[in-house]
Amino acid sequence: MTLISGHYGRIVSTSTAPDFHPVAKDLPRVQMTPGATLSLLVVAADGRQCAGVDVDSGALVRAWSPQPGARVHPYDVVEVTLDGDVDSVPDPAEPEALMLVGPPRAVSRMSGRRCERLLRPLLHPRGQPLLGLAAPVVPFWERRSDHPSIALVEPDGPISLWRDGPYLACRFGWLGHERELPCLDRSMATQMDRAGRATIVAGKSDRLVVSLTPPIDGRCHKVVEAVLPRP
């Protein structure tokens, strides 16, 4: 059972065992070069963070800006400029983290096969715990920088979202069981509020962006950052 209040708010979970498992997939990583400009295909964005795929290298990154900028959406292509101040990253254990000099700048959109070619190699391996972590939470001091903190997930079966006051839950199948994680997708919450619905089922082929939060009271929690429709 997991509870959340607010974006990266206070999350309480009954399980705290880290229990790391290797993730059998060698993913590309971006080399940090201060001042370099990257083009990212956005998969999730909110506040200071923009998660996306580097169009050149195919790496999945978590780009952090010093302040929020104009809102960007999944499948936007944005330009970002890297900062050398890695100490400003909220979670130094994120191997995908990049610090930016300013907010992402939307320049275009991407769709169709070109988009899918970037996403498909990044899908989380089936038959393995999400992010190589069996539990929904891990103490920050036990995090490992060689372990992923974000993944693109293609669940087994339908994805459903359930609203209970400020809490939005995402339920989906993985490893033969139904999982529930807090969902931070503001667009899905807004869609449910406008429709006056407490539960909805996502599109049949939708995917999830699952990540670990920066430390909250010394612990990092698995969350669904976005429900991602097929391009």
Residue type, 145: S
Which of 111, 134, 154 marks a domain boundary? Answer: 111
Determine the Cα–Cα distance for residues 134 and 124; give it in Å rounded to an integer: 14
Q: Is residue 28 part of a domain?
A: no
Contacts of 166 (CB under 8 A, 6+ apart): 4, 5, 6
Contact 102, 81 (CB under 8 A): yes
138 plus 76 within the same structural domain: no
143 plus 171 within the same structural domain: yes
Which of 111, 134, 152 marks a domain boundary? Answer: 111
224 plus 129 within the same structural domain: yes
Give pLDDT, residue 27.
Answer: 57
148 plus 221 within the same structural domain: yes
Residue type, 123: L
pTM for the model:
0.86
129 plus 41 within the same structural domain: no
45 plus 72 within the same structural domain: yes
Determine the Cα–Cα distance for residues 9 and 73; give it in Å rounded to an integer: 22
Q: Is residue 41 part of a domain?
A: yes
Contact 55, 118 (CB under 8 A): yes
Q: Is residue 5 part of a domain?
A: no
Q: For residue 85, what is the domain's CATH number?
A: 2.40.50
Give pLDDT, residue 10.
Answer: 36
Of the candidates 174, 185, 149, the one whose C-alpha atom is nearest the C-alpha of residue 74 is: 185
Contact 77, 41 (CB under 8 A): yes
Which of 58, 82, 111 marks a domain boundary? Answer: 111
Give pLDDT, residue 31.
Answer: 65
Residue type, 64: W
Query: How many domains is the chain partitioned into structurally?
Result: 2
209 plus 130 within the same structural domain: yes
Q: Is residue 166 part of a domain?
A: yes
Contact 115, 76 (CB under 8 A): no
If you ran DSSP here, which 8-state letter would residue 123 be given? B
160 plus 72 within the same structural domain: no
216 plus 143 within the same structural domain: yes
**pLDDT in single tens digits along all 231 residues of the chain:** 333 334 444 333 323 334 444 444 555 666 667 889 999 999 999 889 999 999 999 999 999 999 998 999 999 999 999 997 777 888 888 889 999 999 999 999 999 999 999 999 999 999 999 999 999 999 998 887 778 999 999 999 999 999 998 999 999 999 999 999 999 999 999 999 999 999 999 998 999 999 999 999 999 999 999 999 999
Q: Is residue 49 part of a domain?
A: yes
167 plus 219 within the same structural domain: yes
| Chain centre to alpha carbon of residue 182 | 12
62 plus 85 within the same structural domain: yes
Boundaries of domain holding 171: 121-228
136 plus 189 within the same structural domain: yes
User: Cα-flanking dihedrals φ and ψ of residue 12, to 5°?
Assistant: -120, 130
